[in-house]
Structure 1
Amino acid sequence: MSIDQGWVPQACTLPTGERPLRLADFDDLFATALREQRRLAPTRLRWRLDPEAEDTARDLTARESRCCSFFTFTLTRTDSAVEVDVRVPDAHVEVLDALAARAVARMPA
């Protein structure tokens, strides 16, 4: 599988060699747990995940926040899902666009 990292911003402090692994972690989360994605604003989107993926989502978003501090992830547990709100500043909308496209491409049908 080819992993396009052209959208990864300079602000990301994750070592280049570890980026494919992180993308694979997101890809796995999207493929196994993503139930819905909604764009709430240009700088904000919401993922609805299978509740079984809560621990994985919390771990992954915490790790991503450490290397890409421009992301803000807010996780909320509901009766039927885990909602992850993802926010970025205006300067990083293209990164959010790319992440949203990646999520939809891997979301179960």
Structure 2
Amino acid sequence: MGYRIAEVAELVGVPATTLRYYEDIGLLERPARGGNGYRTYDDADVARLRFLSAARNLGIPLADVADLMTAYDVEDCATVAHQMVEMVATRVAETRTRIGDLVALAAHLQSVDARLADAPTAGGCGEGCPCATAAPAPLTDRRTLVPLTRGPAVPAPDVPVIACSLDAGSMADRVSDWQALAGRAVRRDQIPGGVALQFAPSPELAQEVARLAAAEQSCCGFFTFTVRLAVGELRLEVGAPDEAADLVTALFGAAA
């Protein structure tokens, strides 16, 4: 069956301009043209484009995609899959680093937000004002590693494993849940190795605190949680190793 470029673009889910670009850089052979001068693609072209698009959607660089396309044309599926496994492993490592960077950035921004709240109400900015001194240490040295998979970890001696067994989608949902809960805190206090959140007590909120703490323990065992219930008091204490300090701040906010 023959397809025009607009039809192929719709089938594969990429713009026609992208298909032309792939032809220009040699990822795709230029298709035959019909008597009317239009590009004409067949089912094999569509299958090849779907494979190419899938590789690009994984974030695999174009140079590596070119190698994959060569293998796709001449090798069996097992060989192509083996090449993709290596490329995906690289992407996983890169993504772990990016998550760590984002966690560190979130902690950095929350710390800055807390300091800026103490800015004086009068007078111009000057030496020592929060605007100029709000930023803590450079982020390059404040990275938290958060692996995306349940693969076994072999920590160095005396080094805690700072890892989460949730997949990327579940991790985002969990972060959102914690930040929503932390947003209801009426007070945050720094405690040794972590932070304490004080809430206006309610049975519903106590149940949510306990649920999230139990869920977090099942995937991130490096956290410790203590829930204190008393008349007029609901307090959650969160502890973690020093290596996870940025993650504590990102999830639960900086102490006031």
TM-score band (shorter)?
Answer: 0.7 to 0.9
Larger Rg: 2
In structure 2, the partner of 1:44 is 194
In structure 1, the partner of 2:120 is none
In structure 2, the partner of 1:58 is 210
Contact 1:75 1:84 in 2 (8 A): yes
User: How far off is 1:17 after superposition?
Assistant: 1.1
- Separation in 2, partners of 1:75, 1:87: 12
Deviates more, 1:20-29 or 1:73-82: 20-29
3-state SS of 2:253 partner = helix
Cα 1:49–1:39, aligned 2, differ >3 Å: closer, same or farther?
Answer: same
User: How far off is 1:93 after superposition?
Assistant: 1.6
In structure 1, the partner of 2:150 is none
Aligned residue pairs total 99
Contact 2:187 2:198 in 1 (8 A): yes
- Separation in 1, partners of 2:255, 2:187: 9
Instruction: Give the partner amino acid of 1:29.
Output: L
Cα 1:103–1:54, aligned 2, differ >3 Å: closer, same or farther?
Answer: farther
Cα 1:100–1:69, aligned 2, differ >3 Å: closer, same or farther?
Answer: same
Cα 1:55–1:80, aligned 2, differ >3 Å: closer, same or farther?
Answer: same
Greater per-residue strand proportion = 1
- Separation in 1, partners of 2:231, 2:180: 23
| TM-superposition CA deviations, 1:9-42 (whole Å, max 9, x none) | 23111111112211221122123x311110113x
User: How far off is 1:45 after superposition?
Assistant: 1.0
Structure 2 gap ranges (5+): 1-97, 104-143, 148-162
In structure 1, the partner of 2:169 is 17
Cα 1:96–1:28, aligned 2, differ >3 Å: closer, same or farther?
Answer: closer
The RMSD of aligned alpha carbons is 2.3
Greater per-residue helix proportion = 2
Q: 2:230 matched to 1:78?
A: yes
Cα 1:94–1:66, aligned 2, differ >3 Å: closer, same or farther?
Answer: same
Identity of aligned pairs, percent? 24
- Separation in 2, partners of 1:64, 1:102: 19
In structure 2, the partner of 1:87 is 239
| TM-superposition CA deviations, 1:18-74 (whole Å, max 9, x none) | 12211221122123x311110113x22101122111000000111011111100001
Cα 1:18–1:103, aligned 2, differ >3 Å: closer, same or farther?
Answer: farther
Structure 1 gap ranges (5+): 105-109
3-state SS of 1:84 partner = strand
Instruction: Give the partner amino acid of 2:242.
Output: D
3-state SS of 1:47 partner = strand
Q: 2:34 matched to 1:34?
A: no
